[in-house]
Amino acid sequence: MRLARWALLAVASLMPLPCASQINYVARFEMEKPQYLLGEPVFAKFTIQNSGSEIFQFVYRSPSRVLNRELESEPRFRVTQKSGHPLPDPAPEPCGGTAGTVVYGSVTLPPGQTHTERWLVNQWARFTAPGRYRLRAERRLPLLGLDPRTQEFSRKPAAYALALDELTFEVVPATAGELRAAFKPFQEALEDARNPNPAEAVLVVTTLPKTFFLSDLEAMTNPPSAKRWDRRVALEGMARLGTPKAWKAILNIAQGTQSVTAPDSSARAHTQLSTSQDNSLRAYAILLLAEKGDAASLPALLEMATKGSGGLQDDALRALGFFQDPRAVQALYEKLHSEKPSDRMNAILGLKNLGTKETLPALMAMLNDPAPPVRQVANFALRGLTGEKFNLSEKAGREESARVAAQWHAWWREKGGSFVLPRPSPCREW
Protein backbone atom coordinates (compact mmCIF):
# COMPACT_ATOMS: atom_id res chain seq x y z
CA MET A 1 0.00 0.00 0.00
CA ARG A 2 1.32 3.45 -0.84
CA LEU A 3 1.29 6.02 1.96
CA ALA A 4 2.56 8.93 -0.07
CA ARG A 5 4.37 9.56 -3.31
CA TRP A 6 6.35 12.48 -4.50
CA ALA A 7 7.20 12.17 -8.17
CA LEU A 8 9.08 15.41 -8.51
CA LEU A 9 8.76 16.76 -12.05
CA ALA A 10 11.79 18.70 -13.21
CA VAL A 11 11.86 21.07 -16.13
CA ALA A 12 15.42 22.10 -16.88
CA SER A 13 16.72 24.13 -19.79
CA LEU A 14 19.75 22.77 -21.57
CA MET A 15 22.88 24.84 -21.16
CA PRO A 16 22.93 27.70 -23.60
CA LEU A 17 21.95 26.32 -26.96
CA PRO A 18 20.81 28.12 -30.09
CA CYS A 19 17.19 27.17 -29.50
CA ALA A 20 15.40 26.47 -26.25
CA SER A 21 14.56 22.89 -25.39
CA GLN A 22 13.21 21.23 -22.28
CA ILE A 23 13.46 17.89 -20.52
CA ASN A 24 10.37 16.60 -18.73
CA TYR A 25 10.06 13.31 -16.91
CA VAL A 26 8.06 11.38 -14.34
CA ALA A 27 10.11 9.21 -11.95
CA ARG A 28 8.86 7.01 -9.12
CA PHE A 29 9.47 3.90 -7.03
CA GLU A 30 6.86 1.18 -6.45
CA MET A 31 6.76 -2.14 -4.64
CA GLU A 32 6.25 -5.02 -7.07
CA LYS A 33 3.62 -6.54 -4.79
CA PRO A 34 2.10 -5.77 -1.39
CA GLN A 35 3.21 -9.00 0.32
CA TYR A 36 6.42 -11.07 0.34
CA LEU A 37 7.45 -14.39 1.84
CA LEU A 38 10.04 -14.25 4.60
CA GLY A 39 13.30 -15.12 2.87
CA GLU A 40 12.28 -14.34 -0.71
CA PRO A 41 13.64 -11.39 -2.74
CA VAL A 42 12.00 -8.03 -2.02
CA PHE A 43 12.10 -5.86 -5.13
CA ALA A 44 11.36 -2.15 -5.53
CA LYS A 45 10.67 -1.05 -9.10
CA PHE A 46 12.09 2.25 -10.36
CA THR A 47 10.33 3.77 -13.38
CA ILE A 48 11.21 6.86 -15.37
CA GLN A 49 9.05 8.11 -18.22
CA ASN A 50 10.05 10.74 -20.77
CA SER A 51 6.99 12.98 -20.58
CA GLY A 52 8.50 15.82 -22.62
CA SER A 53 9.34 16.46 -26.25
CA GLU A 54 13.15 16.09 -26.00
CA ILE A 55 15.16 12.88 -26.01
CA PHE A 56 17.51 12.32 -23.05
CA GLN A 57 20.10 9.80 -21.89
CA PHE A 58 21.28 8.42 -18.54
CA VAL A 59 23.59 5.77 -17.14
CA TYR A 60 22.25 2.32 -16.37
CA ARG A 61 24.12 -0.48 -14.61
CA SER A 62 23.77 -3.98 -13.25
CA PRO A 63 21.56 -4.14 -10.14
CA SER A 64 24.19 -4.92 -7.51
CA ARG A 65 24.67 -2.33 -4.79
CA VAL A 66 27.70 -0.03 -4.86
CA LEU A 67 29.23 0.41 -1.41
CA ASN A 68 30.23 4.03 -2.08
CA ARG A 69 27.17 5.86 -0.77
CA GLU A 70 28.31 9.18 -2.23
CA LEU A 71 28.10 8.13 -5.87
CA GLU A 72 25.67 10.15 -7.94
CA SER A 73 22.60 8.38 -9.34
CA GLU A 74 22.65 5.58 -6.73
CA PRO A 75 19.28 4.72 -5.17
CA ARG A 76 19.00 5.05 -1.41
CA PHE A 77 16.75 2.71 0.52
CA ARG A 78 15.86 2.76 4.21
CA VAL A 79 13.53 0.13 5.66
CA THR A 80 11.87 0.58 9.04
CA GLN A 81 9.62 -1.62 11.15
CA LYS A 82 6.11 -0.64 12.14
CA SER A 83 7.61 0.77 15.35
CA GLY A 84 9.89 3.04 13.32
CA HIS A 85 13.13 1.21 14.13
CA PRO A 86 15.36 0.75 11.06
CA LEU A 87 16.37 -2.71 9.86
CA PRO A 88 20.12 -3.50 9.96
CA ASP A 89 22.13 -2.78 6.84
CA PRO A 90 23.86 -5.99 5.64
CA ALA A 91 26.38 -4.19 3.41
CA PRO A 92 29.77 -5.93 3.65
CA GLU A 93 32.97 -4.28 4.81
CA PRO A 94 35.75 -6.29 3.13
CA CYS A 95 38.96 -7.10 5.01
CA GLY A 96 41.11 -6.06 2.08
CA GLY A 97 39.24 -8.10 -0.50
CA THR A 98 37.35 -6.72 -3.47
CA ALA A 99 34.07 -4.91 -2.91
CA GLY A 100 32.52 -6.27 -6.07
CA THR A 101 32.05 -4.79 -9.50
CA VAL A 102 29.19 -3.42 -11.55
CA VAL A 103 28.69 -3.15 -15.29
CA TYR A 104 27.67 0.24 -16.66
CA GLY A 105 25.80 1.11 -19.83
CA SER A 106 23.60 3.92 -21.10
CA VAL A 107 19.90 4.25 -21.81
CA THR A 108 18.52 6.62 -24.43
CA LEU A 109 14.88 7.48 -23.78
CA PRO A 110 12.85 9.10 -26.59
CA PRO A 111 9.68 11.11 -25.78
CA GLY A 112 6.81 8.99 -24.53
CA GLN A 113 8.94 5.95 -23.66
CA THR A 114 9.48 4.40 -20.22
CA HIS A 115 12.48 2.71 -18.62
CA THR A 116 12.10 0.33 -15.65
CA GLU A 117 14.66 -1.13 -13.23
CA ARG A 118 14.28 -3.67 -10.40
CA TRP A 119 16.30 -3.09 -7.25
CA LEU A 120 16.80 -5.85 -4.68
CA VAL A 121 15.95 -4.16 -1.38
CA ASN A 122 17.53 -7.05 0.58
CA GLN A 123 20.90 -5.50 -0.28
CA TRP A 124 20.02 -2.58 2.03
CA ALA A 125 17.97 -4.29 4.74
CA ARG A 126 18.03 -7.67 6.48
CA PHE A 127 14.54 -9.13 7.01
CA THR A 128 14.54 -11.62 9.87
CA ALA A 129 10.90 -11.69 10.99
CA PRO A 130 7.40 -11.35 9.57
CA GLY A 131 5.73 -7.98 9.92
CA ARG A 132 4.74 -4.75 8.23
CA TYR A 133 7.56 -2.58 6.90
CA ARG A 134 7.99 0.88 5.43
CA LEU A 135 10.47 1.65 2.67
CA ARG A 136 11.79 5.14 1.99
CA ALA A 137 13.17 5.10 -1.56
CA GLU A 138 15.10 8.03 -2.99
CA ARG A 139 17.06 8.68 -6.17
CA ARG A 140 18.61 11.62 -8.03
CA LEU A 141 19.44 10.49 -11.56
CA PRO A 142 21.49 12.79 -13.87
CA LEU A 143 19.94 13.20 -17.34
CA LEU A 144 21.96 14.20 -20.40
CA GLY A 145 20.36 16.31 -23.11
CA LEU A 146 20.93 16.23 -26.86
CA ASP A 147 22.74 19.23 -28.37
CA PRO A 148 20.93 20.00 -31.66
CA ARG A 149 24.09 21.56 -33.12
CA THR A 150 26.28 18.48 -32.73
CA GLN A 151 23.60 15.78 -32.32
CA GLU A 152 25.62 14.50 -29.37
CA PHE A 153 24.57 14.16 -25.75
CA SER A 154 25.94 16.67 -23.28
CA ARG A 155 28.66 15.72 -20.83
CA LYS A 156 27.10 17.70 -18.02
CA PRO A 157 23.59 16.88 -16.77
CA ALA A 158 20.86 18.96 -18.32
CA ALA A 159 18.46 17.92 -15.55
CA TYR A 160 18.12 15.56 -12.59
CA ALA A 161 15.32 13.02 -12.35
CA LEU A 162 14.22 13.15 -8.72
CA ALA A 163 12.14 10.43 -7.06
CA LEU A 164 11.20 10.19 -3.39
CA ASP A 165 8.60 7.66 -2.28
CA GLU A 166 7.32 6.20 0.99
CA LEU A 167 6.03 2.66 0.46
CA THR A 168 4.63 -0.03 2.73
CA PHE A 169 4.54 -3.81 2.37
CA GLU A 170 4.13 -6.95 4.45
CA VAL A 171 6.44 -9.93 5.03
CA VAL A 172 4.71 -13.20 5.96
CA PRO A 173 5.95 -16.63 7.13
CA ALA A 174 6.84 -19.16 4.43
CA THR A 175 7.23 -22.91 4.11
CA ALA A 176 10.28 -24.54 2.52
CA GLY A 177 8.17 -25.49 -0.50
CA GLU A 178 6.96 -21.93 -0.99
CA LEU A 179 10.52 -20.61 -0.90
CA ARG A 180 11.68 -23.21 -3.40
CA ALA A 181 8.97 -22.07 -5.78
CA ALA A 182 9.87 -18.42 -5.27
CA PHE A 183 13.53 -19.02 -6.15
CA LYS A 184 12.98 -21.46 -9.01
CA PRO A 185 12.87 -18.78 -11.78
CA PHE A 186 16.24 -17.41 -10.64
CA GLN A 187 17.81 -20.87 -10.53
CA GLU A 188 16.51 -21.60 -14.03
CA ALA A 189 17.96 -18.30 -15.28
CA LEU A 190 21.38 -19.31 -13.96
CA GLU A 191 21.25 -22.73 -15.57
CA ASP A 192 20.22 -21.38 -18.98
CA ALA A 193 23.45 -20.78 -20.91
CA ARG A 194 21.44 -18.92 -23.57
CA ASN A 195 20.34 -16.27 -21.06
CA PRO A 196 22.33 -13.18 -22.16
CA ASN A 197 22.00 -11.32 -18.87
CA PRO A 198 21.86 -13.44 -15.71
CA ALA A 199 22.99 -10.53 -13.46
CA GLU A 200 19.72 -10.33 -11.51
CA ALA A 201 19.61 -14.08 -10.90
CA VAL A 202 23.25 -14.06 -9.76
CA LEU A 203 22.50 -11.20 -7.39
CA VAL A 204 19.45 -12.91 -5.87
CA VAL A 205 21.05 -16.32 -5.41
CA THR A 206 24.25 -14.96 -3.85
CA THR A 207 22.54 -12.32 -1.68
CA LEU A 208 19.83 -14.64 -0.31
CA PRO A 209 21.39 -18.13 -0.43
CA LYS A 210 19.36 -21.16 0.63
CA THR A 211 20.52 -24.67 1.48
CA PHE A 212 18.60 -26.15 -1.44
CA PHE A 213 20.75 -24.40 -4.02
CA LEU A 214 24.22 -24.97 -2.62
CA SER A 215 24.96 -27.00 -5.77
CA ASP A 216 24.05 -23.94 -7.87
CA LEU A 217 26.54 -21.82 -5.93
CA GLU A 218 29.24 -24.46 -6.36
CA ALA A 219 28.55 -24.64 -10.09
CA MET A 220 28.75 -20.85 -10.31
CA THR A 221 32.41 -21.01 -9.32
CA ASN A 222 33.06 -22.84 -12.61
CA PRO A 223 30.65 -21.31 -15.15
CA PRO A 224 30.40 -22.28 -18.84
CA SER A 225 32.01 -18.93 -19.65
CA ALA A 226 34.54 -17.20 -17.43
CA LYS A 227 32.94 -13.86 -18.37
CA ARG A 228 29.38 -14.85 -17.47
CA TRP A 229 29.75 -13.49 -13.91
CA ASP A 230 32.39 -12.77 -11.29
CA ARG A 231 33.02 -16.18 -9.72
CA ARG A 232 33.91 -14.61 -6.38
CA VAL A 233 30.28 -13.66 -5.73
CA ALA A 234 29.45 -17.37 -5.64
CA LEU A 235 31.97 -17.80 -2.83
CA GLU A 236 30.35 -14.89 -0.99
CA GLY A 237 26.98 -16.59 -1.42
CA MET A 238 28.37 -19.76 0.18
CA ALA A 239 29.79 -17.71 3.05
CA ARG A 240 26.41 -16.02 3.62
CA LEU A 241 24.74 -19.42 3.59
CA GLY A 242 27.15 -20.34 6.37
CA THR A 243 26.39 -24.06 6.70
CA PRO A 244 29.18 -26.58 7.41
CA LYS A 245 28.76 -27.95 3.86
CA ALA A 246 29.07 -24.46 2.39
CA TRP A 247 32.28 -23.72 4.31
CA LYS A 248 33.65 -27.14 3.36
CA ALA A 249 33.04 -26.25 -0.29
CA ILE A 250 34.93 -22.96 0.18
CA LEU A 251 37.81 -24.83 1.82
CA ASN A 252 37.92 -27.31 -1.07
CA ILE A 253 38.22 -24.42 -3.52
CA ALA A 254 41.00 -22.85 -1.43
CA GLN A 255 42.90 -26.14 -1.50
CA GLY A 256 42.26 -26.70 -5.19
CA THR A 257 40.31 -29.90 -4.61
CA GLN A 258 36.96 -28.62 -5.89
CA SER A 259 34.74 -31.05 -7.76
CA VAL A 260 31.59 -29.54 -9.25
CA THR A 261 28.72 -30.99 -11.27
CA ALA A 262 26.56 -28.55 -13.19
CA PRO A 263 23.05 -28.37 -11.71
CA ASP A 264 21.34 -28.48 -15.10
CA SER A 265 20.51 -31.72 -16.90
CA SER A 266 22.50 -31.01 -20.04
CA ALA A 267 25.91 -32.48 -20.71
CA ARG A 268 27.55 -29.14 -21.48
CA ALA A 269 31.23 -29.21 -20.57
CA HIS A 270 32.45 -26.25 -18.58
CA THR A 271 35.17 -24.14 -20.11
CA GLN A 272 38.63 -24.93 -18.76
CA LEU A 273 39.73 -21.92 -16.72
CA SER A 274 43.28 -20.63 -16.73
CA THR A 275 45.63 -21.18 -13.80
CA SER A 276 45.56 -17.45 -13.03
CA GLN A 277 41.75 -17.50 -12.83
CA ASP A 278 41.81 -20.56 -10.60
CA ASN A 279 44.45 -19.01 -8.33
CA SER A 280 42.44 -15.78 -8.10
CA LEU A 281 39.39 -17.74 -6.96
CA ARG A 282 41.45 -19.81 -4.52
CA ALA A 283 42.97 -16.64 -3.08
CA TYR A 284 39.49 -15.19 -2.47
CA ALA A 285 38.41 -18.44 -0.82
CA ILE A 286 41.42 -18.14 1.50
CA LEU A 287 40.40 -14.58 2.39
CA LEU A 288 36.82 -15.65 3.23
CA LEU A 289 38.12 -18.49 5.41
CA ALA A 290 40.33 -15.98 7.19
CA GLU A 291 37.43 -13.61 7.78
CA LYS A 292 35.42 -16.48 9.21
CA GLY A 293 38.32 -17.46 11.49
CA ASP A 294 37.02 -20.97 12.17
CA ALA A 295 39.71 -23.14 13.76
CA ALA A 296 38.50 -26.09 11.66
CA SER A 297 40.05 -24.54 8.53
CA LEU A 298 43.32 -23.55 10.23
CA PRO A 299 45.27 -26.81 9.62
CA ALA A 300 44.68 -26.53 5.88
CA LEU A 301 45.77 -22.89 5.81
CA LEU A 302 48.83 -23.66 7.91
CA GLU A 303 49.85 -26.32 5.40
CA MET A 304 49.35 -23.91 2.51
CA ALA A 305 51.31 -21.19 4.31
CA THR A 306 54.28 -23.44 5.05
CA LYS A 307 54.31 -25.84 2.10
CA GLY A 308 52.46 -23.96 -0.61
CA SER A 309 54.03 -22.18 -3.54
CA GLY A 310 53.79 -18.77 -5.17
CA GLY A 311 51.03 -16.29 -4.50
CA LEU A 312 48.73 -18.73 -2.73
CA GLN A 313 51.33 -19.31 -0.03
CA ASP A 314 51.52 -15.54 0.42
CA ASP A 315 47.71 -15.33 0.69
CA ALA A 316 47.64 -18.12 3.27
CA LEU A 317 50.39 -16.47 5.33
CA ARG A 318 48.49 -13.20 5.54
CA ALA A 319 45.31 -15.10 6.34
CA LEU A 320 46.86 -16.68 9.44
CA GLY A 321 46.75 -13.29 11.12
CA PHE A 322 42.96 -13.44 11.33
CA PHE A 323 43.10 -16.50 13.60
CA GLN A 324 43.58 -15.89 17.31
CA ASP A 325 45.38 -19.21 17.62
CA PRO A 326 48.91 -19.98 18.96
CA ARG A 327 49.63 -22.25 15.98
CA ALA A 328 48.99 -19.41 13.53
CA VAL A 329 51.00 -16.90 15.57
CA GLN A 330 53.96 -19.29 15.83
CA ALA A 331 53.96 -19.90 12.06
CA LEU A 332 54.01 -16.15 11.39
CA TYR A 333 56.91 -15.51 13.77
CA GLU A 334 58.87 -18.37 12.21
CA LYS A 335 58.38 -16.91 8.73
CA LEU A 336 59.96 -13.63 9.89
CA HIS A 337 63.25 -15.57 9.68
CA SER A 338 62.65 -17.06 6.24
CA GLU A 339 65.34 -16.69 3.60
CA LYS A 340 62.71 -15.37 1.17
CA PRO A 341 61.88 -11.64 1.48
CA SER A 342 58.33 -12.34 0.26
CA ASP A 343 57.80 -14.72 3.19
CA ARG A 344 59.02 -12.09 5.62
CA MET A 345 56.79 -9.38 4.10
CA ASN A 346 53.67 -11.55 4.20
CA ALA A 347 54.44 -12.69 7.74
CA ILE A 348 54.60 -9.00 8.74
CA LEU A 349 51.22 -8.39 7.10
CA GLY A 350 49.83 -11.44 8.87
CA LEU A 351 51.00 -10.07 12.23
CA LYS A 352 49.39 -6.76 11.33
CA ASN A 353 46.11 -8.61 10.70
CA LEU A 354 46.49 -10.23 14.12
CA GLY A 355 46.08 -6.75 15.60
CA THR A 356 47.74 -7.29 18.97
CA LYS A 357 50.12 -5.06 20.91
CA GLU A 358 52.51 -7.96 21.50
CA THR A 359 53.54 -8.00 17.81
CA LEU A 360 54.93 -4.43 17.84
CA PRO A 361 58.48 -5.19 19.09
CA ALA A 362 58.93 -7.88 16.42
CA LEU A 363 57.70 -5.49 13.73
CA MET A 364 60.12 -2.83 14.94
CA ALA A 365 62.97 -5.32 14.67
CA MET A 366 62.06 -5.91 11.02
CA LEU A 367 62.96 -2.27 10.30
CA ASN A 368 66.56 -3.52 10.33
CA ASP A 369 65.90 -6.23 7.72
CA PRO A 370 68.51 -6.35 4.92
CA ALA A 371 65.80 -6.12 2.21
CA PRO A 372 64.39 -2.59 1.61
CA PRO A 373 60.85 -3.86 0.68
CA VAL A 374 60.66 -5.73 3.99
CA ARG A 375 61.59 -2.58 5.90
CA GLN A 376 58.90 -0.65 4.01
CA VAL A 377 56.23 -3.24 4.84
CA ALA A 378 57.28 -3.25 8.50
CA ASN A 379 56.91 0.52 8.72
CA PHE A 380 53.56 0.31 6.94
CA ALA A 381 52.34 -2.27 9.45
CA LEU A 382 53.48 -0.21 12.43
CA ARG A 383 51.78 2.91 11.12
CA GLY A 384 48.57 1.02 10.46
CA LEU A 385 48.48 -0.58 13.90
CA THR A 386 49.44 2.43 16.01
CA GLY A 387 48.28 5.47 14.07
CA GLU A 388 51.76 7.01 14.44
CA LYS A 389 53.19 8.71 11.34
CA PHE A 390 56.89 7.94 11.26
CA ASN A 391 57.78 8.18 7.57
CA LEU A 392 60.17 5.94 5.69
CA SER A 393 60.88 7.27 2.20
CA GLU A 394 60.32 5.05 -0.81
CA LYS A 395 64.06 4.62 -1.51
CA ALA A 396 65.22 4.60 2.09
CA GLY A 397 68.66 3.09 2.70
CA ARG A 398 69.98 1.35 5.79
CA GLU A 399 70.89 4.66 7.47
CA GLU A 400 67.43 6.20 7.12
CA SER A 401 65.80 2.91 8.12
CA ALA A 402 67.93 2.79 11.27
CA ARG A 403 66.93 6.37 12.11
CA VAL A 404 63.22 5.57 11.72
CA ALA A 405 63.67 2.39 13.74
CA ALA A 406 65.21 4.49 16.52
CA GLN A 407 62.13 6.74 16.45
CA TRP A 408 59.84 3.74 16.84
CA HIS A 409 61.88 2.31 19.71
CA ALA A 410 61.89 5.70 21.48
CA TRP A 411 58.12 5.90 21.07
CA TRP A 412 57.77 2.36 22.44
CA ARG A 413 59.89 3.14 25.52
CA GLU A 414 57.86 6.28 26.21
CA LYS A 415 54.32 5.14 25.42
CA GLY A 416 54.41 1.37 25.01
CA GLY A 417 53.39 0.65 28.56
CA SER A 418 50.18 2.70 28.37
CA PHE A 419 49.42 2.34 24.67
CA VAL A 420 46.15 0.54 23.88
CA LEU A 421 45.85 -0.92 20.41
CA PRO A 422 42.40 -0.23 18.93
CA ARG A 423 40.47 -3.39 18.15
CA PRO A 424 39.17 -3.42 14.57
CA SER A 425 35.52 -4.18 13.98
CA PRO A 426 34.64 -7.51 12.33
CA CYS A 427 35.01 -7.42 8.57
CA ARG A 428 31.90 -9.33 7.62
CA GLU A 429 29.29 -11.32 9.46
CA TRP A 430 30.21 -14.74 8.11
Tell me, what CATH number does 140's domain have?
A: 2.60.40.10
What is the average pLDDT score of the chain?
Answer: 87
Which residues are registered as beta bridge partners of 333?
A: none
3-state helix, strand and coil shares in percent for the chain, rounded to the nearest 5:
40, 20, 40
Which residues are registered as beta bridge partners of 171?
A: 36, 131
Residue 196 lies in a domain: yes
The pLDDT tens digits for 33-78 are: 999 999 999 999 999 999 999 999 999 887 888 877 677 788 999 9
Q: Are residues 256 and 147 in the same domain?
A: no
Residue 213 lies in a domain: yes
Residue 292 lies in a domain: no
Q: Are residues 18 and 158 in the same domain?
A: yes
Domain boundary among 172, 203, 236: 172
Q: Are residues 394 and 410 in the same domain?
A: yes
For the cut 80, the answer to whether the pLDDT of residue 236 exceeds it is yes
For the cut 60, the answer to whether the pLDDT of residue 254 exceeds it is yes
Q: Are residues 16 and 150 in the same domain?
A: yes
Which residue has better confidence, 228 or 215?
A: 215
Q: Are residues 136 and 28 in the same domain?
A: yes
Domain boundary among 277, 308, 331: 277
The pLDDT tens digits for 351-389 are: 999 999 999 999 999 999 999 999 999 999 999 999 999
Q: Are residues 77 and 159 in the same domain?
A: yes
242 backbone φψ class: left, alpha, beta (φ>0; ψ -120 to 50): left
| 77-80 contacts at long range (C-beta below 8 A, 24 or more positions apart) | 77/44, 77/119, 77/121, 77/124, 77/125, 77/135, 77/136, 77/137, 77/138, 78/124, 78/125, 78/135, 78/136, 79/121, 79/124, 79/125, 79/127, 79/133, 79/134, 79/135, 79/136, 80/133, 80/134, 80/136
Which residues are registered as beta bridge partners of 141?
A: 161
For the cut 70, the answer to whether the pLDDT of residue 222 exceeds it is yes
Q: Are residues 165 and 50 in the same domain?
A: yes
Query: What is the C-alpha to C-alpha distance for residues 103 and 290, in angstroms, rounded to an integer?
Result: 28
Q: How much is the pTM?
A: 0.83
Residue 203 lies in a domain: yes
Residue 372 lies in a domain: yes
Q: Are residues 259 and 403 in the same domain?
A: no
The pLDDT tens digits for 282-300 are: 999 999 999 999 999 999 9
**Residue 228 lies in domain:** 178-277
Specify the DSSP element, H or E, that contains 200: helix 199-207
Residue 302 lies in a domain: no
Residue 187 lies in a domain: yes
Q: Are residues 15 and 157 in the same domain?
A: yes
**What number is the average pLDDT over the span 201-228?**
89
With cut-offs at 50, 70 and 90, classify the pLDDT of residue 99: low
Number of domains in the chain: 3
Residue 259 lies in a domain: yes
Domain boundary among 244, 277, 310: 277
Q: Are residues 151 and 219 in the same domain?
A: no
Contacts of 54 (CB under 8 A, 6+ apart): 14, 21, 22, 23, 24, 111, 145, 146
Q: Are residues 116 and 232 in the same domain?
A: no
Q: Are residues 33 and 168 in the same domain?
A: yes
